[in-house]
């Protein structure tokens, strides 16, 4: 096991021999690491935190720390992190609250760039990218393969749909459509499908064409949202059905 002499590992912590713990890092008594994790230096892992394999934590990130919620009184809540994540400098991940379900969760294969904040009770899927200073308030859901641009704050209880791409500097106060390219110029707008990102993820030309048709019904046709959803449900393919279901279950409304 590679543990720097200046690191502090509390009794009770689970740290496999394959892990590397760098200088001035601290690991709390209720933390369990998976195999081959790397703490570069000055990393804080705290609280009831379960971490999978092959995660890399860069300097000054703080994972499993108490939530920034005045209602929190030290209750037993948790953080769960999957495998193969890269968590860069100064990232903060708060543990959950009793009122929000008690769990903050990050999936696998994510990149959290410098100064990202994952607020309490937020649920981040797998293969997501959060760019520098992206900030999730409490109770946010980021679905699989979504990308949140730099300096984007996401309001409490918002959902960012799968494969969505949010441009840098966008203030997100409503749900972001799956597959969409959403950004702020003068106002927040969905500009159609995230064609480049979807192509990189292996979407076929036929699949993209069907999605473009669905988005035209929603964004360009002279239909209200309910009428557009009814038309989208008549299209072929699982993507159209997923898009329609996302709109129907939205609690905060969608960015169109």
Q: Are strands 180-184 and 188-193 parallel, antiparallel or unpaired?
A: antiparallel
Indicate which residue of 30, 46, 121, 175 is catalytic: 121
204: phi then psi, degrees, rounded to nearest 5? -75, 165
Q: What is the DSSP string of 176-194?
A: BPTTEEEEESSSEEEEEE-
* Active-site option among 120, 161, 192, 197: 120
Query: Of 138, 161, 167, 197, which one is the catalytic site residue?
Result: 138
117 is catalytic: no
CB atoms within 10 A of CB 7: 20
Nearest CA to 113 among 147, 143, 80, 139?
147
How far is Cα 237 from Cα 231, in angstroms, rounded to an integer?
A: 13
Active-site annotation holds for 121: yes
Q: What CA–CA distance (Å, rounded) separates 198 from 176?
A: 16
Q: Is 169 a catalytic residue?
A: no
What are the structure tokens assigned to 156, written together? 């409490």
Catalytic residue numbers, as ranges: 120-121, 138
């Amino acid at each position: 096991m590679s543990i720097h002499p200046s690191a502090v590992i509390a009794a009770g912590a689970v740290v496999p021999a394959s892990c590397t713990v760098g200088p001035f890092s601290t690991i709390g008594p209720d933390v369990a690491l998976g195999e081959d994790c790397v703490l570069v230096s000055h990393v804080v892992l705290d609280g009831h935190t379960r971490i999978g394999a092959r995660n890399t934590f860069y300097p000054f990130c703080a994972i499993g720390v108490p939530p920034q919620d005045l209602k929190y009184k030290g209750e037993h809540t948790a953080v769960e992190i999957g495998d193969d994540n890269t968590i860069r400098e100064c990232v903060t991940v708060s543990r959950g609250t009793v009122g929000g379900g008690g769990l903050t969760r990050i999936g696998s294969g994510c990149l959290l760039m410098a100064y990202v904040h994952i607020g309490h009770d937020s649920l981040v899927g797998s293969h997501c990218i959060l760019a520098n200073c992206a900030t999730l308030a409490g109770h946010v859901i980021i679905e699989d393969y979504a990308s949140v641009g730099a300096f984007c704050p996401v309001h409490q209880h918002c959902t960012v749909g799968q494969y969505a791409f949010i441009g840098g500097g966008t203030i997100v106060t409503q749900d972001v459509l799956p597959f969409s390219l959403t950004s702020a110029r003068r106002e927040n707008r969905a500009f159609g499908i995230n064609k480049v990102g979807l192509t990189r993820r292996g979407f076929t030309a036929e699949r993209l064409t069907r999605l473009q048709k669905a988005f035209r019904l929603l964004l360009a046709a002279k239909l209200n949202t309910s009428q557009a959803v009814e038309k989208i449900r008549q299209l072929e393919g699982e993507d159209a059905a997923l898009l329609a279901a996302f709109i129907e279950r939205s609690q905060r409304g969608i960015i169109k």
